[in-house]
Amino acid sequence: MKIAALAGGIGAGKFLRGVVRVAPPEDLSVIVNTGDDREFHGLWVSPDLDSVTYWLAGVMDRERGWGLAGETFRTTGELRSFGAPDAWFGLGDLDMATHLYRTWVLSAEPRGRGLSAATRGISARFGVRPSVVPMSDDRIATIIGTTTPDGQNWDLDFQSFWVQHGASPPVRDIRYEGADAATPAEGVLAAIEGADVILICPSNPIASIFPILAVPGIRETLEARRDRVVGISPIVGGAPVRGMADKLMPAAGYGVTAAEAARCYKGLLSAWVIDEQDRNLAPQIEATGVRVAVSDTMMVSDEASERIARVALDLL
Amino acid sequence: MKIAALAGGIGAGKFLRGVVRVAPPEDLSVIVNTGDDREFHGLWVSPDLDSVTYWLAGVMDRERGWGLAGETFRTTGELRSFGAPDAWFGLGDLDMATHLYRTWVLSAEPRGRGLSAATRGISARFGVRPSVVPMSDDRIATIIGTTTPDGQNWDLDFQSFWVQHGASPPVRDIRYEGADAATPAEGVLAAIEGADVILICPSNPIASIFPILAVPGIRETLEARRDRVVGISPIVGGAPVRGMADKLMPAAGYGVTAAEAARCYKGLLSAWVIDEQDRNLAPQIEATGVRVAVSDTMMVSDEASERIARVALDLL
């Protein structure tokens, strides 16, 4: 059974650890959001690609969620002493090698192939058996349009909004800059077309999955395979399990419920997995033509992730 | 008393710790070799500038000589796991911040001003009171022309020759690529012109001082101030105290003695400090019109460096 997955960062990484306990890892292709990527200190950082890779490799810091186990932050500490403008973003000393390697590959490869090539190299170094591919080799930036206290428009890249400003500035709108002119990375459309099941991971719809769908060709390809698409709700009990989807969904015109998260994928979903807490929402989701499974969706362990993956895969 | 110093890396750094115990640090300008600089993993590394800065700041690893005290090498270890081609060069995790900062400034500043600006920022961050300036803001590469085992010409940048290949390939010649078209960094000529004493640090003449003299304008300015120039021999008892000058001096047409090291600066020196071990060489050096002082030149401590600095400064 060939599986394709659309993925953000930590939530996706946790879930995919369950998927590879149910299906052969080689049969999984993960298409990862790169709208959160940006340069820090001249290094190209791809937080979602790294989260997925580290979780699949089992080298992640499970408690913190992001980054590598046994990490230290000595370089970042020094950069703070330098007053470096990007030093609010903590890059670990082990993780730093990933960014140096990626930036080096990006400078060496022809434009439009670099991120895929770097991602393959990083996967290989960590022994990741699923195929991990960026949604695109072109640069796409998720921009959060916010408002300053004195009412001015204030555009922030996703990391500045979330990590530097703690998602506190009021959100006006969300844009995916560069998406219109982008093309899917090699292998992305083929993975969706060739999959028996396409999973939408329990990631932030607005910040993680919409950027993928904004790359021309991906939404259309997914639509054509709608009967094979299963998603897992990232919203449980009216709040995101982790992250700031509750700040972004209203600005994008969605309520913060498991049903509204399903509505984000209108026309794309065949089935949707929601948490026990949201059981009462099942009828209204099913009324939109989407089959619903109810399960405990808290991914507190690999065993829990495996159970949820099994529920999702059994839905078709 | 205004002092200018021409400096390489570790030997210069050790010596200059003595100079600032004798003279006000603010009155010292250090002009540093950049011929050993190169990119590693996309970061611009200036080993001699950093050695001088770290030694003057007192944050160096005294035992190892290079790099920072309390250093770790976690990123470099990871880069080796990636098979990164530059990972034979050990960049420390604390030191990494210096290279990230420098590379960031180089990308932000207009070409021809970046390295000076980065060096000022690094000096400020470490509280270094002397003025530390690169010999030039232009890129100059010390190239060691070597011979492969099967007799082919094999050009190596200085770090590849010294760190990667342990100075073992036979040396044919040494070139300072880019020097002809370079200009001295802002403040270099003024520091030499305005100094009461100009010190040539006990650095490798071929790898550290010749690149400085190769920048058009510096040799001429020094020649005009010859009566104020004092050098300290880096060669003691027919061998370099540290490093690979014994591999480079013969290829450049010099023997490996304290007298031959003085001859490297023919026409530029007023006085030359040699070690007790080389006392017998004093007459032949003095016969070339250079005054000689004999001292214990082993810089085993700051006190020893201070004594040698005092001898050098008292010579004029």
Residue B124 CA to residue B127 CA, distance in Å, equals: 5
Token output for B92: 């420390």
A-chain CB neighbours of B124 within 8 Å are none
- How near does any CA of chain A get to the CA of B84, in Å? 7
User: Is the pLDDT assigned to residue B316 strictly greater than 90?
Assistant: no
Residue B264 CA to residue B210 CA, distance in Å, equals: 9
With cut-offs at 50, 70 and 90, classify the pLDDT of residue B88. very high
Element of type H or E holding B14: helix B10-22
Under 8 Å between Cβ of A184 and A217: yes
Residue B148 CA to residue A173 CA, distance in Å, equals: 62
Instruction: Using alpha carbons, select from B230, B229, B249, B231 the residue that is nearest to residue B239.
Output: B249
Residue A19 CA to residue A7 CA, distance in Å, equals: 13
User: Is the pLDDT assigned to residue B209 strictly greater than 90?
Assistant: yes
Residue B52 CA to residue B49 CA, distance in Å, equals: 5
B-chain CB neighbours of A103 within 8 Å are 41-42
Instruction: Using alpha carbons, select from B163, B154, B152 the residue that is nearest to residue B244.
Output: B163
**Which pLDDT belongs to residue A316?**
85
Per-residue model confidence as pLDDT tens digits over B192-201? 999 999 999 9
Q: Are B84 and A101 a contacting pair at CB < 8 A? A: yes
Nearest chain A alpha carbon to B125: A82
Average pLDDT estimate for B8-18: 97
The residue ranges of chain A whose pLDDT is under 70 are none
A-chain CB neighbours of B54 within 8 Å are none
Q: Are A97 and B107 a contacting pair at CB < 8 A? A: no
Q: What is the mean pLDDT of chain B?
A: 97
Element of type H or E holding B274: strand B271-275
Token output for B130: 């002397």
- How near does any CA of chain A get to the CA of B106, in Å? 10
Per-residue model confidence as pLDDT tens digits over B145-173? 999 999 999 999 999 999 999 999 999 99
Nearest chain B alpha carbon to A108: B42
User: Is the pLDDT assigned to residue B178 strictly greater than 80?
Assistant: yes
How would you class A277 by CB atoms within 10 Å of its CB: exposed for 0-12, middle for 13-18, buried for 19 or more?
Answer: middle
Interface of A with B (CB under 8 A): 41-43, 72, 74-79, 81-84, 93-94, 96-98, 100-101, 103-104, 107, 121-122, 125
**Which pLDDT belongs to residue A208?**
98
pTM metric for this prediction: 0.94
Token output for B266: 């023919």
- How near does any CA of chain A get to the CA of B289, in Å? 47
- How near does any CA of chain B get to the CA of A98, in Å? 8
**Which pLDDT belongs to residue A109?**
82
**DSSP H helical ranges for chain A:** 10-22, 47-57, 74-81, 93-108, 114-125, 158-159, 188-193, 210-213, 218-224, 245-251, 258-263, 282-286, 302-314
Q: Are A93 and B74 a contacting pair at CB < 8 A? A: yes
Domains of chain B: 3-139+180-314 (3.40.50.10680)
| A-B contacts at Cβ under 8 angstroms | 90
- How near does any CA of chain A get to the CA of B154, in Å? 24
Ranges A238-247, B43-52, B259-268: which has the least confidence: A238-247
Token output for A172: 């006006």
Q: Are B98 and A75 a contacting pair at CB < 8 A? A: no
Residue B119 CA to residue B113 CA, distance in Å, equals: 10
**Which pLDDT belongs to residue B105?**
94
Q: Are B100 and A125 a contacting pair at CB < 8 A? A: no
Minimum-distance CB partner of A103 among B42, B78, B104 = B42
Average pLDDT estimate for B251-260: 98
Q: Which amino acid is at A92?
A: G
Report DSSP state, residue B170: P
Instruction: Using alpha carbons, select from A83, A60, A137 the residue that is nearest to residue A105.
Output: A137
Q: Are B100 and A43 a contacting pair at CB < 8 A? A: yes
Supply the DSSP string of B51-89, one letter for each residue.
HHHHHHHT-B-TTTSSSBTT---HHHHHHHHTT-TTTTS
Under 8 Å between Cβ of A122 and A101: yes
Choose the mutation target among B44, B68, B100 for the interface with A, i.e. most A CBs under 10 Å.
Answer: B100
Under 8 Å between Cβ of B8 and B49: no
Nearest chain A alpha carbon to B123: A82
CA distances from B138 to A189, B36, B114 (A): 47, 13, 9
Contacts of A231 (CB under 8 A, 6+ apart): A199, A200, A201, A202, A261, A262, A265, A269, A271, A272, A273
**Which pLDDT belongs to residue A265?**
98
Supply the DSSP string of A214-226, one letter for each residue.
TSTTHHHHHHHTG
With cut-offs at 50, 70 and 90, classify the pLDDT of residue B113. confident
